[in-house]
Homo-oligomer: A and B are copies of this chain.
């Protein structure tokens, strides 16, 4: 009996189309039930149940039981990062002819990437923050400047608390559709939750798409995009 975890075991779990679909569905960040994921992957609940048991055994996902429902989530951002890497690598194939990313224009424009925003809007956001000296990029790494610290504090962000988390504050994340970096990390996560709380954007019920309201677009643009 093999005790040591083999790299092929983990990869094989993601190598099944149904399981992969289920995992990508979880990339949306929402906790999903077993039946929801079964629908997502076009399989019966009992098949999904088997898959979920395997994913749990390898600790790629976590469960929370709530009455007769079981809510599944990705096991931390490490697993999410693995999925992102896979998405980018699989999109890279034959990059001369194949259009990258989703076809849905709404999803191209703005979608959830585990816990932060992705899509054209989010690439524009990163560009703007860099252009205004709120963020700097040094040898491929993002960092908050002193001016940026003040700026975010003025917007009500508790940077000290965010910094204490065991994850980078700012992080580049390669955008699946845009092929450019957008802002991830604790700060990226904060911005998304802030947008949701302020109701500038609204999550689609059954996809990763997020929709900007009319006033949300205006306010987002004024706050984050205009110099």
Contacts and interface: CB of A to CB of B under 8 A. Distances in A.
A11 interface: yes
Contacts of A171: 140-141
Nearest to A10: B90
What is the predominant secondary structure among interface residues of chain A facing chain B?
helix
- Please indicate which of the listed interface residues A3, A91, A92 has the most CB atoms of chain B within 10 Å of its own CB: A92
A130 to B, nearest CB: 15
A24 B7 contact: yes
Contacts of A170: 139, 141
Given A10-B90, A139-B169, 11 more contacts: A5-B92, A6-B17, A7-B87, A9-B15, A10-B89, A11-B20, A12-B15, A60-B89, A82-B82, A138-B169, A140-B185
A143 to B, nearest CB: 5
A106 interface: no
Number of chain copies forming the complex: 2
Interface of A: 3-17, 19-21, 24, 58-60, 78-79, 81-83, 85-94, 98, 138-144, 163, 167-171, 185-186
Nearest to A97: B3
B141 A11 contact: no
A-B interface, 6 closest residue pairs, ranked by CB to CB distance from nearest: A12-B15, A140-B168, A139-B169, A15-B15, A11-B14, A8-B20
Contact of A12 (B6, B12, B78): B12
Contacts of A10: 86, 89-90
16 contacts: A7-B87, A7-B90, A8-B15, A8-B19, A8-B21, A9-B15, A10-B90, A11-B11, A11-B20, A12-B14, A82-B82, A82-B86, A82-B89, A138-B144, A138-B169, A140-B171
Contact of A169 (B14, B78, B140): B140
